[in-house]
C-alpha cells in the first residue's frame, strides 16, 4: 500500500520507550452499503449501547480490572508513605525503594491503559465491520458532564473521548459517514417510538416510560435509537 510516514517522535516515561510516527493513507472508497446506520450511546452502566442491539459492557467492573485498580491504589499509598518517612526537613528524598515502587506503579498503570485501549479498539473494529451506512454519536459536552462528580469519574475511567476519537478515524478509514449529534439534541429525553419529549427525566431513571404512547424501554437503548434517527434525518437532507 502507498503509505507516507511523517513526524517520527521518541519519548520515555521512566519505564518504556515509545516511538510514534504519523502515517498518511490515500482517501478510502466509501462503503456503498444499503445497511442501516448505527447510533451509539456511551453510558455509565454499560460502556456502549448500539441501536443495532449490541451492548458492550463496562470493563471496569470485571475482576481483572478491579484487582489491578486495587494494586494501583495500594502502591500509591505505599509510595506516599515512604516519601513521608524519608522526608528530611522540608525536602522529600527519593530512595532506591521508592524508585522501585514507582516503576511497579507505572507498570500497573500501563496495564490498565492497555486493557482499556485494547477493548475500545476491539469494539470499534467490530462496529465498523458491520458496514453501517453512517454512525452517530453524541458530542461529549465534557465540561458540563464533568461538573457531575459521579459522571466525571466514569467518563474518565471509561475513556469516552478516546472512544469517540477512535470511532471517528475508523469511520474515516472505511468511508463511513460519522455524524455528531450536537449537545442540545435531547437523545435521552425523546421517546424513540413516538417522538414525545419528556422533560422530567432524571439521571437515575434507568427505564424510559413514555407517558404519551406507553413505550417502556431501557434508557440507553432509547437514546441510541434516537441517535440513529438523528442520523437518518441528516442523511436524508
Is 112 a residue that touches Zn ion (CB under 5 A)? no
Residues 36-95 within binding reach of Zn ion (CB under 5 A): none
- The only residue of 120, 123, 136, 191 in contact with Zn ion, by rule CB under 5 A: 191
Distance CA 26, CA 4 (A): 9
How many residues sit close enough to Zn ion to count as binding (CB under 5 A)? 8
Query: Minimum distance between the CB of residue 226 and Zn ion, rounded to whole angstroms?
Result: 11
Least separation in angstroms between residue 213's CB and Zn ion is: 3
Minimum separation from the CB atom of position 210 to Zn ion (A):
3
Task: Give the nearest distance from C-beta 75 to Zn ion in angstroms.
Answer: 50
Q: Is position 194 an interface residue for Zn ion (rule: CB under 5 A)?
A: yes
Q: Is 197 in the site for Zn ion (CB under 5 A)?
A: no
**Is the CB of 181 or the CB of 210 nearer to Zn ion?**
210
Distance in Å, CB of 214 to Zn ion, minimum: 7
CA distance 211 to 98: 60
196 contributes a contact to Zn ion by CB under 5 A: yes
Nearer to Zn ion, 15 or 213 (CB): 213
**Spatial contact of 85 and 92, defined as CB atoms under 8 Å apart:** no
Among residues 52, 72, 86, 215, the one that binds Zn ion under rule CB under 5 A: 215
* Close Cβ partners of 133 (under 8 Å, ≥ 6 residues apart): 31, 33, 34, 35, 36, 37, 176, 177, 235
Q: Which stretch binds Zn ion (CB under 5 A): 119-127, 167-175, 208-216, 229-237?
A: 208-216
Q: What are the residues binding Zn ion (CB under 5 A)?
A: 191, 193-194, 196, 210, 212-213, 215
Amino acid at each position: 500500500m502507498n503509505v507516507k510516514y511523517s513526524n517520527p517522535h521518541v519519548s520515555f516515561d521512566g519505564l518504556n520507550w515509545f516511538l510514534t510516527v504519523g502515517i498518511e493513507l490515500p482517501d478510502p472508497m466509501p462503503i456503498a452499503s444499503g445497511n442501516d446506520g448505527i447510533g451509539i450511546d456511551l453510558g455509565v452502566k454499560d460502556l456502549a449501547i448500539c441501536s443495532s442491539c449490541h451492548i458492550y459492557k463496562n470493563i471496569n467492573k470485571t475482576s481483572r480490572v478491579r484487582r489491578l485498580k486495587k494494586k494501583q491504589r495500594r502502591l500509591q499509598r505505599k509510595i506516599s508513605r515512604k516519601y513521608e518517612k524519608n522526608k528530611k526537613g522540608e525536602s522529600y528524598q527519593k530512595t532506591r525503594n521508592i524508585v522501585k515502587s514507582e516503576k511497579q506503579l507505572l507498570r500497573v498503570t500501563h496495564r490498565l491503559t492497555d486493557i482499556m485501549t485494547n477493548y475500545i479498539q476491539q469494539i470499534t473494529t467490530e462496529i465498523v465491520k458491520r458496514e453501517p451506512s453512517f454512525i452517530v454519536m453524541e458530542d461529549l459536552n465534557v465540561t458540563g458532564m464533568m461538573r457531575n462528580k459521579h459522571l466525571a469519574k466514569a467518563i474518565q475511567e471509561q475513556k469516552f473521548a478516546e472512544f469517540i476519537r477512535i470511532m471517528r478515524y475508523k469511520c474515516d478509514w472505511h468511508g463511513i459517514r460519522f455524524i455528531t449529534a450536537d449537545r442540545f439534541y435531547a437523545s435521552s429525553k425523546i421517546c424513540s417510538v413516538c417522538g414525545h419529549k419528556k422533560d422530567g427525566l432524571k439521571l437515575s431513571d434507568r427505564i424510559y416510560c413514555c407517558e404519551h404512547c406507553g413505550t417502556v424501554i431501557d434508557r440507553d437503548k432509547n437514546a441510541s435509537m434516537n441517535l440513529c434517527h438523528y442520523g437518518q434525518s441528516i442523511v436524508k437532507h
